[in-house]
Structure 1
Amino acid sequence: MMDGLRLLPWTTPDGKPCYLDPDTARPGALSLLADSVESSQLGSAEEVLAGSKAVLGDEAAGERAVRFALTRAVESLEDVVRIAVSRGWRIQRTADTPDNRL
């Protein structure tokens, strides 16, 4: 984990993670954009999940349909895992602040 940095929901063109040093006073434009992208990715993941279930439930679905559904599901899972990691880091950082310790 990069202490104090937010893992963004996208990568560089060569696949490396992107991070944001968050503004502590209030969310900045890039942070709000990241929130919006995460929300969109989660919505897409729900749609991909529903579509993948439909394909897997269709005994007549061919290999091409199954491979397409699996490819989209893997892409969505990568997004969801990145979001979960990023949010987990932020939750942990919040829990570790002096005001929140028991």
Structure 2
Amino acid sequence: MTGRPDTLRLLPWATPEGKCCYLVTDGTGYLSRVADNIESVQLGMAGDLLDHAADMLADHTSTSAQLRFLLARMSESLTDVHRIAESRGARLPGPAYDEIT
């Protein structure tokens, strides 16, 4: 995903303290490609979790401990997906309004 020159990109990971990580980039460097790959993995894992959740909810023998574990993993995944959405949204070009005359 290429962006405008020297834009800030919210990276798909946080510091050990939970703070956001940013990269000043034009979207073509090595670290941008690493971030793209990690986002792809995170989105794939989110899809897998959704499939697993559907299976567990359909299985009435799932225990509360199993469901709590699934919910914890889904919460982590939703945090990742939310960060990806914020990052990608921030890199979208602004709306191009025609000048009203």
Q: Shorter chain as normaliser: what TM range?
A: 0.7 to 0.9
1:34-67 superposed Cα distances (whole Å, 9 cap, x missing partner): 0000000000000011111111121111111101
Structure 1 residues 101 and 31, CA gap change in structure 2 (3 angstroms): farther
Give the number of equivalent residue pairs: 93
Cα separation, 2, equivalents of 1:71 and 1:54 = 16
- Where is the strand percentage greater, Structure 1 or Structure 2? 2
More helix by share: 1
Distance 1:6 1:55 in 2: 36
Structure with more contact order per residue of length (Cα contacts < 8 Å, sep ≥ 6): 2
> What TM-score do you get using the length of structure 2 for normalisation?
0.84
Unaligned runs of 5+ in 2: 1-6
Which residue in the other structure is 1:78 paired with? 79
TM-score (norm 1): 0.83
